[in-house]
């Protein structure tokens, strides 16, 4: 799987299910179906970390779920990116570029919403740590980001 990374994706931000902010306290930016369908077929579903840029703003750390979100039993695969930065307002229809640097864990179901929230918080901590490593930092400056 690691041979597929880093993985670069770009597309417009579309409305998702509205669960990130409301249920989880963790807003996410979602890609349209055509971006999701462009993913390598052998990419393992799971939680990934990397870099994200909205329009021509700075590049920020991110954590992304790529898969079916078993807790919510999604019928379609999605890429839900949580940018580790506080934005003042929504940025639907903006261009989002992400560089998927590494894999944190496989997707799994949770017994409760609280368990899912705890896992997301831990994913953010783990992403923060890994993105401070030299190899990951190099990708933040990739020419992919303008």
The structure tokens listed for 115 are: 């368990």
What are the Cα distances from residue 108, in Å, to 54, 65, 68, 94, 121? 28, 11, 10, 30, 15
What CA–CA distance (Å, rounded) separates 120 from 137? 22
- Catalytic residues, by residue number, are 80
What CA–CA distance (Å, rounded) separates 79 from 114? 22
Element of type H or E holding 95: strand 95-106
Q: Give the residues across from 2 on adjacent strands.
A: none
């Amino acid at each position: 799987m690691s041979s597929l990374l880093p993985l670069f994706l770009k597309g417009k931000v579309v409305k998702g299910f509205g669960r990130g902010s409301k249920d989880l306290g963790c807003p996410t930016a979602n890609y349209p179906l055509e971006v999701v369908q462009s993913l390598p077929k052998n990419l393992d579903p799971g939680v990934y970390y990397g870099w994200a840029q909205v329009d021509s703003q700075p590049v920020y750390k991110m954590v992304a779920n790529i898969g079916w979100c078993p807790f919510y039993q999604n019928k379609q695969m999605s890429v839900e990116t949580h940018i580790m930065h506080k934005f003042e307002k929504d940025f639907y229809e903006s261009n989002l570029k992400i560089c998927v640097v590494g894999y944190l864990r496989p997707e799994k179901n949770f017994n409760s919403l609280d368990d899912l929230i705890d896992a997301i918080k831990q994913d953010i901590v783990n992403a923060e740590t890994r993105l401070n490593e030299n190899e990951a930092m190099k990708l933040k400056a990739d020419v992919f980001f303008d």
